[in-house]
Structure 1
Amino acid sequence: MDKNIWKQLYTLINEWIQLGAWKFIRSNDFVGLEINGATYYCTIMGQLGDCIGFSIYEGEQGYRDLNSISLEYEEDRVIQYMMFDQTCLTFYMGDREEVPSSQRQMMKTLGFKYRGKGNWPYFLSFQSRFYPYEINDYQAKIMIQVLEQLIPLMKAYINKEVVVDFDQDEMLYTHDGIYEARALPPVKDKFPTLTITDKGNLETIPQSFRQFIIELAYLKGGIVEAGYDRPISGLVLLAMELESQEIVYMNLLKVEEEQSKACLNMFQELLEDYGKPTEIMIRNPRVFCALSSICEVCGTKIYMTALPMIDNILNEMEYYMSK
């Protein structure tokens, strides 16, 4: 860790904390910044007094991640999936125990002192398929660049030097030293819809009266594997036959496996082994986008619903992984 980089980061974050910008803006009021040819989108959290911080998303894919995480989901497991399936840099205010040990040591080395519950700054990197991890010097530089633009932008907004109607799909934006309101970019779907154009042998597969529950979920806890510079997140794809409550398919996906295609391949295996089901029940939006087309071809009804029986299985998996 480069002491000069981190000194600059902590100096700026202290200024951000003193500003208290989260008191003046909601987490679903987006901020955009053009910096060195790149566009960053920010969400500023903490207006309700909890989870104080901000997240930085880069480019078009980052904007898709930001929108996906900003939607409201009824199921905790879907919220967890969206959280682990995003790529962003995040600053939080938390307790001392939440701060990565390397960052605590850097604070001590640089002479920055924090006291009290919820008053310790720390920084995490989220990357799809990987477990949240401490940021490196390169990522710290990005946070510095963003804060150098974000702090004066928020000061201008707080002082009413720029007016934004967030409720009319505007965002607070800065480019080339200009602060303005700008229309939000159109929201593009994060998850690809896999359209079945070649029915192949689907028409010859017999109809069955089976019902399946299909889940794609991230598991809590990182997994250390050789070849990666950070822990990966366990991502499990499973299918349960509803009547028997039997798990008929389970796969812990590799980092390189494309999720939507893995869902489609799994469903095709179910078709070969059990025939066309009358219906499947899911809750993950990615699974819906992956399977809606082939379900239509097969005459299989697909439902979005709560899956409490799957939660019990996932909880057990997490318990044994933690041992």
Structure 2
Amino acid sequence: MKLLIEEARPLYEASNRFKQQASWQWLSSSHIFGVQDPETGQIGYCTVMGNGGEMYGLAVYLGTEGLDNLFNLLQGNNVEDPVFTQQCLLLSFENRDELSSEEYKQLKALGFSYRGRNAWPTFHRYEPGFVPGPVREAKDLRFFATCVEQAIEVASSVQSDPDQLFHSDQQLFLTRVPERSSDGQAWNWSDQWVEPVPLVVEEEPAQAARIDEIKLARLRRLPCPPESFWEFGLFYLHTAVGNKGRPYFPQILIISEPASGMIIHSAVAEKKRSSEQCIEELVDLLLQREYKPSRLILTLPNIAQVLLPLLTSIDIDVYTADRLPMVEDVLQELNQFLH
């Protein structure tokens, strides 16, 4: 799928004005504001980059999932590299040699040219599990251009006091909301304090944990060595797959038994596993090994929450930890081998 040309023009034009404004001189990554998509109603949560003098641009985190990614990033809570987990559109100003040939051709076709360091605008889409790449869809280009235009408006309005973007109720974010003009030909924008919609959980843990009663009875009868535990790690491999279409990062599940020094299960999946798939793989492993650990240790609280109802019902305790030493050693060796 080739990069669009004319559809990208408004985004380049808005980005030129954004760079000229240089709002990173008074806004930091903690100044978050929303822009509602006129077409879909989804809110993109924007943060200006460049206050630290390293990377200049604008990130638009998509929906509540994207906002949650941003909070994890700001608070240092990311278990994995953000490149695997972010849900955002990213405008950054780079050097000429950092542009792809495709991006450079797009710029030349539109008649834009830049000089100097950190002068060339690039636009990328980040989506969990996929390799970041140029924005290729017209709807994304339109919303991205809207976000950049509204970022200019917000930055200008708060220049004298950027902390106006902080509300006493930390659940509320200043959001630019569109409304059709009376003639239906344009959008009128207003500032509103909006609470993000609740984060949508892929599956309810109680539903995801349903397995047939025969298997459940077998799992309960499995012997359980005292003080035994398994490490349960779910990660993206650093090597991208797929030459045609959109390249993706395969996901690997590794389960180790530190007491024996063994990796007792590893499996690669093309796409992000659903909660149900995680449960099915663990159940199959328990029945295959014919015993169960007294504890299962994970680094991902959301997966721990999904597994909790099942494991509690079969007398396996669930714990979360900052690190899984044995699993992470294996993952590091595997990534080095693949590279």
TM-score normalized by the length of structure 2: 0.80
Unaligned 5+ runs, structure 1:
none
Q: Cα–Cα, structure 1 residues 30 and 65, in superposed 2: closer, same or farther, change >3 Å?
A: same
Give the alignment's Cα RMSD to 1 decimal. Answer: 2.8
- Contact 1:55 1:90 (C-alpha < 8 Å) held by counterparts: yes
TM-score normalized by the length of structure 1: 0.84
Equivalent residue in structure 2 for 1:232, among 222, 229, 248: 248
The 1-side partners of 2:232 and 2:162 are apart by: 51
- Contact 2:131 2:240 (C-alpha < 8 Å) held by counterparts: yes
The number of equivalent residue pairs is 313
Q: Cα–Cα, structure 1 residues 162 and 298, in superposed 2: closer, same or farther, change >3 Å?
A: closer
What does residue 218 of structure 1 align with? 236
Fraction of identical pairs, as percent: 18
Q: Residue 143 in 1 paired to residue 144 in 2?
A: yes
1:269 counterpart letter in structure 2: D
The 2-side partners of 1:120 and 1:221 are apart by: 27
What does residue 279 of structure 1 align with? 295
Q: Specify the structure having the higher radius of gyration (Cα).
A: 2
Shift of 1:28: 3.9
Q: Cα–Cα, structure 1 residues 245 and 166, in superposed 2: closer, same or farther, change >3 Å?
A: farther
The 2-side partners of 1:132 and 1:54 are apart by: 16
Instruction: Give deviations 1:59-98, integer Å, cap 9, x for gaps.
Output: xxx212321342256676x132x54234322112334444
Which deviates more from structure 2 when the two are superposed, residues 207-216 or residues 178-187?
Answer: 178-187
Which deviates more from structure 2 when the two are superposed, residues 230-239 or residues 17-26?
Answer: 17-26
1:211 counterpart letter in structure 2: F
Q: Cα–Cα, structure 1 residues 320 and 150, in superposed 2: closer, same or farther, change >3 Å?
A: same
What does residue 172 of structure 1 align with? 174
- Contact 2:32 2:165 (C-alpha < 8 Å) held by counterparts: no
Shift of 1:7: 3.3
Equivalent residue in structure 2 for 1:36, among 18, 35, 38: 38
The 2-side partners of 1:151 and 1:7 are apart by: 17
Please list, as runs of the form range in 1=range in 2, the aligned pairs for 1:57-76 lying within 5 A after superposition: 57-58=61-62, 62-71=63-72
Instruction: Give deviations 1:272-298, integer Å, cap 9, x for gaps.
Output: 133221112211233212212222112
Shift of 1:187: 4.5
What does residue 107 of structure 2 align with? 107
Please list, as runs of the form range in 1=range in 2, the aligned pairs for 1:120-199 lying within 5 A after superposition: 120-138=120-138, 139-158=140-159, 163-166=164-167, 168-169=169-170, 170-175=172-177, 176=179, 177-185=188-196, 187-188=198-199, 190=201, 192-195=203-206, 196=209
Q: Cα–Cα, structure 1 residues 197 and 317, in superposed 2: closer, same or farther, change >3 Å?
A: closer
The 1-side partners of 2:71 and 2:19 are apart by: 23
Unaligned 5+ runs, structure 2:
180-187
Which deviates more from structure 2 when the two are superposed, residues 265-274 or residues 42-51?
Answer: 42-51
Instruction: Give deviations 1:209-239, integer Å, cap 9, x for gaps.
Output: 432111111122321155xx21011211111
The 1-side partners of 2:126 and 2:113 are apart by: 25
The 1-side partners of 2:70 and 2:337 are apart by: 28
Q: Secondary structure at the match of 2:11?
A: helix
The 2-side partners of 1:112 and 1:238 are apart by: 48
The 1-side partners of 2:204 and 2:28 are apart by: 31
- Contact 1:67 1:187 (C-alpha < 8 Å) held by counterparts: no
Q: Secondary structure at the match of 2:239?
A: strand
What does residue 184 of structure 2 align with? none
The 2-side partners of 1:185 and 1:2 are apart by: 32
The 2-side partners of 1:197 and 1:107 are apart by: 53
Q: Secondary structure at the match of 2:34?
A: strand
The 2-side partners of 1:213 and 1:161 are apart by: 45
Q: Secondary structure at the match of 2:292?
A: coil
Equivalent residue in structure 2 for 1:301, among 301, 317, 320: 317
